[in-house]
Structure 1
Amino acid sequence: MPLFNRFLLQPAEERLANLPLPCSVQLPGGQRIGAAQPRLRFIVRDGRAFMHLAQGAIGRLAEDYVEGRLEIEGRLRDLMLAVPALFGTDPTHESTNMLPHLLGRMQRSLWERSHHSRAKDAAQVQSHYDISDAFYALWLDPLRVYSCAYFQTPDMSLAQAQEAKLDHICKKLRLQPGERFIDIGAGWGGLLLWAAEHYGVHATGITLSQNQYTYVNQIIERKGLQSRVQMLLQDYRDIDESQPYDKVASVGMCEHVGRPNLPIYFAKIYRLLKPGGLVLNHGITAGGTDNPQLAGGMGDFIEKYIFPGGQLVHASVMLEAMARGKLEALDAECLRPHYAQTLWHWLDALEAREREAREVLGAHAEKILRAYRLYLAGSAMGFEQGWMSLFQILGSRPDSVVETRESSPAKLRAVQCDYPFNREYMYTRTDG
């Protein structure tokens, strides 16, 4: 056995012994360590993978798996039971060592400034969303809603929960027939079309994905909605401000904006809104207050294989950015457990149609499928552990009109927006 393998053998055996289920490792020379009857079996093809296993470097191990340096035999759900113990520390905490901490912050600052130009944002969005429409159609719901669902009851199907989420957003925004509504980062058009068809709004959606732009416009034409719905291929920074909107939604978009640009992003939304209008921002947030990405290389894995340019911030940072954009936060709802359940649904659907996915993806199918299966399972586990979260934050552009009690005795004073300042309306059942 190579010297470095002998040096790493003891810490690797100790990690295996501390896992919550029986696991084993097969080394390149055929030697095995760990449980005699494992539920998970790691087959090391390259010494680097064994080093990463001994170190608990989860992101590096994931990369080893995608690149074929490591094989994993067993259920991904079992793997996700083992990951927190394998990692050994809380990945939402930054290093307390001062020098790496400062160097890391400097590197992130340079990265943040260079990764969110219009051209780079477009390229990064397209690298993820334009892999293949047919691939995403295999494991998303029929409306292709690629964001956290809303399980009003635990036994809801994914399709039912996604429709419930779309309706939940529309209710929060108090959409009314004839209002001007814009969905920033509209994806495959689920919310855009739901709002138009069920709430009678004049709806605009934007995306940087060529595939999504083409797909949604075909649906608009097929449904005969051209007079009330439009989909634009456009950067959020370039949205026309000359005709303000009554309501704005942003679902799964803020993760792509970048921390330094969040105040700019919300200031743009402020200018897009009519005074008194509402905005619903639905986005993934960091579980820790200070960490810019998950430690252990997990953030690096997502950056390389899944969402280049993506960045998470804590919900408190999101609220501060909204305030700096002159928006008033009205309501915040955490849907963290809902996203874990959504991701498990997606993984089950992808694994059930893996053969079709290979046909759709072609030459690069193996690497893409390995990356996406780990991404879906790992993200589900991350939401379960609280390493990441999901918040819907409802805000408004105040209209600065404070009515006196005498002029409007039946209304609350100082409302300044289209919001009743209680949650009852969100949960009231309506017919149709």
Structure 2
Amino acid sequence: MNPLASLVQKKLDAIPVAVRLQMPDGQWLGPKDAQVEFVAKTNVALKNLAAGDIGKVGEDYVEGRVEINSSMRNLMAAATAMLPGNPVDAARQGAFTALIGRLVSVWRHSIERDAQQIEFHYDLSDDFYALWLDPRRVYSCAYYRDPGMSLDQAQEAKLDHICRKLRLKTGERFVDIGAGWGGLLLWAAENYGVDATGITLSKNQHAYVNKLIEQKGLSGRVRMELLDYRKLDTNEPFDKIASVGMFEHVGRAQLSQYFSRLRELLAPGGLVMNHGITAGGVDNAQLGHGMGDFIEKYIFPGGELVHIGHVLTDMANGGLESIDVENLRPHYARTLWAWSDALEANLDDAKEILSSERGQKALRAYRLYLAGCAAGFENGWIALYQVLGAHLPQSGRADELDHPDDLSYPWRRDYMYGA
């Protein structure tokens, strides 16, 4: 056995699920009844497998240099075991690297570039997303208030969880920044009676939601605009603001300005909910071993993560007080597995919808992305936080624990979880 084959064999033997590998020369390693099967078509792809460089293995799969036959759950068990170390530790930044990263972040998050990056991801195909999202097409972490909930039920629970945290009331001006396919926007309007505005940079989402608004007879009280959050009018502030699954696209160098903008858009006594993915490590902007690079190239160009500690610091620098912080990391792991299972169950339809060469590559990338992110949340490499914020208090009050009617936020959680 040649040295590279010997190295690969040792790697396979250490994996907790049975793995079979075909070498570029046709030689097979591993049992015939293996749960995971790799077919390496080039020596470079074989070296990436041997090194446990999961991001590059993923790229090899997308580009056709490796074939994979496996369920996504078995594949992720194998991939996690193949890693040479913790991907959080592998991506820690030194001071100089962080400085360069900050400069790059400033450059790549202009209004024009952000619009192009959002279009790349969200305008892939509405029909494709509909295959594996819930009927409301809520493309963010669900909330499994009851462990036995279906994905559809958990997404509705999430929408209501946000509305209850924001204490939405009839007639309030509400804006959903990065409104997606309108799940939260329409839920808030139909169940809480708010005057609702949604914004997106996706042309597909903009057209889809406006059609829903018209079909539901909500025109005049609900609107969806094709608009960057930086172009919202601060002269007409909102009583309540939600930003769900959007701030990951802002860029770490812009986060203080982002939260400052939300504060400018928030009326006195109002509340803002920021719901988004955060880094598992304090000093890394993405995952190591090529995993972050894979997501940047094939899924979310321009996406950047920061640790929750940095989020709270940037909120404070932006003039907002963090008044409730909740980690939904396990909820997102379950959500992503639900999405992954649904996509795997509809692969034939997905292949037909994404029939172009670019579409077929995108499908292979999404198969790895959904399952890989599920594993990432399971292992704590990434997390999901909801942070509720308000204007910093202008003067002290002695009665903040007494629930007076003029307080925007009661300083107990009973209202959030009570019947």
How does the TM-score come out when normalised to structure 1?
Answer: 0.93
2:119 equivalent among 115, 126, 142 = 126
Structure 1, gaps ≥5 residues long: none
Tell me how far 1:118 sits from its aligned partner.
0.4
Q: Does 1:253 align with 2:252?
A: no
Q: Does 1:29 align with 2:25?
A: yes
Distance in structure 1 (CA, Å) of the matches to 2:5 and 2:326: 46
Show the counterpart of 2:381: 387
Distance in structure 2 (CA, Å) of the matches to 1:412 and 1:180: 23
Show the counterpart of 2:418: 428
Show the counterpart of 1:9: 5
Show the counterpart of 2:65: 69
1:241 equivalent among 234, 239, 244 = 234
How does the TM-score come out when normalised to structure 2?
Answer: 0.96
2:372 equivalent among 373, 378, 403 = 378
Show the counterpart of 2:110: 117
Distance in structure 2 (CA, Å) of the matches to 1:246 and 1:394: 14
Q: 1:222 to 1:42 in 2, by over 3 A?
A: same
Show the counterpart of 1:293: 286
Distance in structure 2 (CA, Å) of the matches to 1:193 and 1:303: 31
Distance in structure 2 (CA, Å) of the matches to 1:214 and 1:71: 37
Q: Which moved more, 1:10-19 or 1:138-147?
A: 10-19
Show the counterpart of 1:280: 273
Q: Which amino acid aligns with 1:362?
A: S
Contact 1:396 1:417 in 2 (8 A): no
Q: 1:383 to 1:403 in 2, by over 3 A?
A: closer
Q: Does 1:42 align with 2:17?
A: no
Please give the secondary structure, in 2, of the residue aligned with 1:83.
Answer: helix
**Count of aligned residue pairs for this structure pair:** 418
Q: Does 1:360 align with 2:353?
A: yes
Q: Which moved more, 1:140-149 or 1:362-371?
A: 362-371
Q: 1:259 to 1:219 in 2, by over 3 A?
A: same
Q: 1:344 to 1:404 in 2, by over 3 A?
A: closer
Q: Which amino acid aligns with 2:63?
A: E
Distance in structure 2 (CA, Å) of the matches to 1:289 and 1:417: 34
Structure 2, gaps ≥5 residues long: none
Q: 1:7 to 1:417 in 2, by over 3 A?
A: farther
Tell me how far 1:107 sits from its aligned partner.
4.4
Distance in structure 2 (CA, Å) of the matches to 1:334 and 1:297: 26
Q: Does 1:190 align with 2:180?
A: no
Distance in structure 2 (CA, Å) of the matches to 1:109 and 1:173: 32
Show the counterpart of 1:57: 53
Contact 1:399 1:416 in 2 (8 A): no
Tell me how far 1:104 sits from its aligned partner.
4.1
Tell me how far 1:36 sits from its aligned partner.
5.0
Tell me how far 1:285 sits from its aligned partner.
0.5
Distance in structure 2 (CA, Å) of the matches to 1:88 and 1:337: 24
Show the counterpart of 2:143: 150
Show the counterpart of 1:80: 76
Aligned-pair identity in percent equals: 55
- CA deviations on 1:33-83 (whole Å, 9 max, x unpaired) are 234532111110111110101111000000000111001112111011112
Runs of 4+ in 1 over 6 A off after TM superposition: none
Q: Which amino acid aligns with 2:140?
A: S
Show the counterpart of 1:418: 408
Q: 1:348 to 1:238 in 2, by over 3 A?
A: same
Tell me how far 1:282 sits from its aligned partner.
0.4
